[in-house]
Structure 1
Amino acid sequence: MSPLLNVGFYNFVLTDKVVALVRSDSAPIKRLIQQLRREGTRLIDATQGRRTRCVVFLSSGQVVLSALTQETLAKRLLRASAVLETAEEELEALASEEGDGV
């Protein structure tokens, strides 16, 4: 199972689907957000009315707006991947112990 990334206010995305975390204050990103709002299909607003600070691009083509900074989301993403790696290592260790004991 893929870990989840909390993008703010108990809204989550699968970490495997995250392609990029981009600041929202540049003019091209602002234009992209406005275009996606007009289209109304690929944009997910997870800001709860707060200022958009980070735009999360997903492999499915969807775009998530977050009120958290990209630094905060990057730390959470790295923490989630570290937890997943640790869990996988523990499972491998358990599997090898079971194989040795039988």
Structure 2
Amino acid sequence: MHRKNLLNIGFGNRIVAEDIIAVVSPASAPVKRMKDEAKKAGRLVDATQGRKTRSVIVMASNHVILSAIHTETISQRFAAINGNRLGPDDDPDLMPE
């Protein structure tokens, strides 16, 4: 039996890391549309606990999960689970100013 890795997305909420397709910022219009469509279809999971949405996670099941944790933090947690470390070359947003 294959063991699934759970990724902490904040406030005690965890998701199966292997099922993540993308972790994106909620600010763009296409992401807002995707979120609205998922809500209408019953595929939206709000894991923000009433806080501001800071990342949108798209799952292989076509579910859309809202998290109050920053996209960079979720990406770093994902990399840590997989034994990788993200560096400045992997994500331009993580480069020091």
* Alignment TM class, shorter chain as reference: 0.7 to 0.9
**TM-score of the aligned structures, taking structure 2 as reference length:** 0.78
User: How far does residue 82 in structure 1 lie from its aligned partner after superposition?
Assistant: 1.1
**TM-score of the aligned structures, taking structure 1 as reference length:** 0.75
Aligned to 2:8: 6
- The 4+ residue runs of structure 1 with deviation greater than 4 A are none
User: How far does residue 78 in structure 1 lie from its aligned partner after superposition?
Assistant: 0.4
What percent of counterpart residues are identical?
39
What is the 5 A alignment of 1:12-91? 12-39=14-41, 41-82=42-83
Partners of 1:60 and 1:31 lie apart in 2 by 18
User: How far does residue 35 in structure 1 lie from its aligned partner after superposition?
Assistant: 2.5
Partner SS, residue 19 of structure 1: strand
Unpaired runs of 5+ residues, structure 1, are 84-102
Partners of 1:35 and 1:14 lie apart in 2 by 22
Bigger helix fraction? 1
User: How far does residue 28 in structure 1 lie from its aligned partner after superposition?
Assistant: 1.4
Does the 8 A contact of 2:38 with 2:63 survive in 1?
Answer: no
Partners of 2:57 and 2:38 lie apart in 1 by 13
Counting matched residue pairs gives: 82
